[in-house]
């Protein structure tokens, strides 16, 4: 099995075997478009469930309760703040987390005392935190600002590094794809959005960007001497780059998802550590969809933008014309795609040919 996987990876890297990922970009765009539409519908209908860090409110935590029944906390809140609807979570085996809206300081103290008696714990084992709505709104504002600054810096760095604004646009498009899908999942399952969730969002954007940059770097390497050969088009060389990095992307994702899966499914769902779900769900969903976008969205989107450039369009037309005339022959895979083969910068097969028009600098 290991030998077969190694052989498969080697054949992909050498170009002996390729999957027409870029050539079938309309299919992947349709899938992503459907997912984005579903995420938008969920956001408009169900919406997100922001935590008290964003909305403001009061949080009580009872430690070491002999009977961590949510019904006890519900009765206590109903007695002192009947207008409030509490959100109650069980943390671990015997800790109770109670969240309500903003209440008076005296009311908060009365609830603390009552929870202490009801759960039969010492008074110092019941803590509470109160967050005003103004401070909560400021947290939300800072979270949005951090996201905007991140995206602007990403666009600048990619544009400078690759000297291609189209790669920056494609990378930002893939990041927006990942973020919107992950936020849609939060709207679907109703998990609370907290500052830890925002940290998770920024983390997955960094992970997705890393994967995308690796693929783009290979695209840049494969197409560095595009006009010095007349056998393969920009689209085919970019597709080769995706195939060459496919195994690396899959292996990296599997390794990264294993510990995140343990946090989400074992720590959060099985052991009841609900505070972990804020960040673990964002990481799990974001890493998975980030791998998908780096393969099926980012590079196909970049190629779709590149093919609009006159010099690439002319080169593509020249290559196809030479093939039709029989002056250039290429090998075809079983599925009809072009077998590009192992190409190193400056060592492309075929005679040198320059299409008319502007050459890439």
Tell me the CB-side half-sphere exposure of residue 316, using CA atoms within 13 A. 16
What mean pLDDT comes out for the span 20-45? 94
Whether residue 134 is predicted with pLDDT greater than 90 in this model: the reply is no
**Residue with structure tokens 């759960």?**
119
DSSP state of 60: E
Whether residue 5 is predicted with pLDDT greater than 70 in this model: the reply is no
Angstrom distance (rounded) from CA 12 to CA 37: 33
Residue 332's H or E segment, with its range, is strand 331-332
Q: Say if residues 358 and 310 touch (Cβ distance below 8 Å).
A: yes
The pLDDT score that the predictor gives to residue 235 is: 93
What mean pLDDT comes out for the span 17-42? 92
Chain centre to alpha carbon of residue 302 = 18
Whether residue 276 is predicted with pLDDT greater than 80 in this model: the reply is no
Q: pLDDT tens for residues 72-82?
A: 889 988 988 88
Q: How confident is the model at residue 162 (pLDDT cuts 50, 70, 90)?
A: confident
The pLDDT score that the predictor gives to residue 346 is: 40
What mean pLDDT comes out for the span 159-172? 86
Domain ranges of the chain: 2-49+136-339, 57-131
Q: pLDDT tens for residues 85-110?
A: 888 877 767 888 888 888 888 888 89
Give percent above pLDDT 70 in the chain.
84
The pLDDT score that the predictor gives to residue 357 is: 46
Range scoring the smallest mean pLDDT among 120-124, 135-139, 225-229, 256-260: 135-139
Angstrom distance (rounded) from CA 229 to CA 54: 57
Range scoring the smallest mean pLDDT among 194-198, 263-267, 276-280, 331-335: 331-335
Assign domain 2-49+136-339 to its CATH superfamily.
Multidrug efflux transporter AcrB transmembrane domain (1.20.1640.10)
Q: pLDDT tens for residues 33-73?
A: 999 999 999 999 998 888 777 777 888 888 888 788 888 88
CATH of domain 57-131: 3.30.70.600
């Amino acid at each position: 099995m290991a030998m077969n996987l190694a052989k498969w990876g080697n054949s992909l890297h050498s170009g002996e075997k390729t999957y027409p990922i870029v050539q079938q970009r309309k299919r992947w765009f349709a899938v992503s478009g459907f997912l984005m539409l579903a995420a938008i519908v969920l956001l408009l209908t169900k919406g997100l469930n922001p935590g008290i860090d964003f909305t403001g409110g009061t949080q009580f935590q009872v430690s070491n309760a002999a009977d961590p029944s949510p019904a006890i906390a519900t009765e206590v809140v109903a007695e002192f703040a009947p207008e409030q609807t509490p959100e109650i979570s069980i943390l671990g085996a015997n800790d109770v987390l109670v969240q309500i809206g903003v209440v008076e300081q005296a009311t908060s103290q009365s609830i603390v005392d009552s929870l202490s008696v009801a759960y039969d714990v010492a008074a110092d084992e019941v803590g509470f935190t109160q967050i005003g709505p103004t401070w909560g709104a400021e947290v939300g504002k800072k979270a949005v600002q951090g996201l905007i600054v991140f995206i602007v810096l990403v666009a600048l760095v990619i544009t400078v590094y690759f000297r291609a604004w189209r790669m920056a646009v494609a990378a930002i498009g893939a990041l927006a794809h990942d973020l919107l899908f992950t936020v849609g999942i939060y709207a679907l399952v109703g998990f609370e959005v907290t500052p830890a969730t925002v940290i998770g969002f920024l983390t997955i954007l960094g992970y997705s960007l890393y994967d995308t940059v690796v693929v783009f770097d290979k695209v840049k390497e494969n197409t560095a001497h595009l006009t010095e050969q007349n056998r393969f088009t920009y689209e085919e060389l970019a597709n080769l780059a995706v195939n060459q990095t496919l195994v690396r992307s899959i292996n990296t994702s599997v390794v990264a998802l294993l510990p995140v899966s343990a946090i989400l499914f074992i720590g959060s769902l099985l052991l009841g550590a609900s505070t972990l779900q804020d960040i673990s769900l964002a990481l799990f969903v974001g890493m998975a969809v980030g791998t998908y976008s780096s393969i099926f969205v980012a590079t196909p989107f970049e190629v779709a933008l590149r093919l609009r450039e006159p010099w690439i369009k002319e080169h593509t037309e020249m290559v196809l014309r030479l093939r039709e005339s029989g002056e250039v022959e290429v090998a075809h895979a079983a599925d009809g795609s072009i077998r590009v083969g192992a190409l190193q910068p400056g060592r492309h097969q075929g005679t040198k040919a320059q299409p008319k028009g502007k050459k890439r600098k």
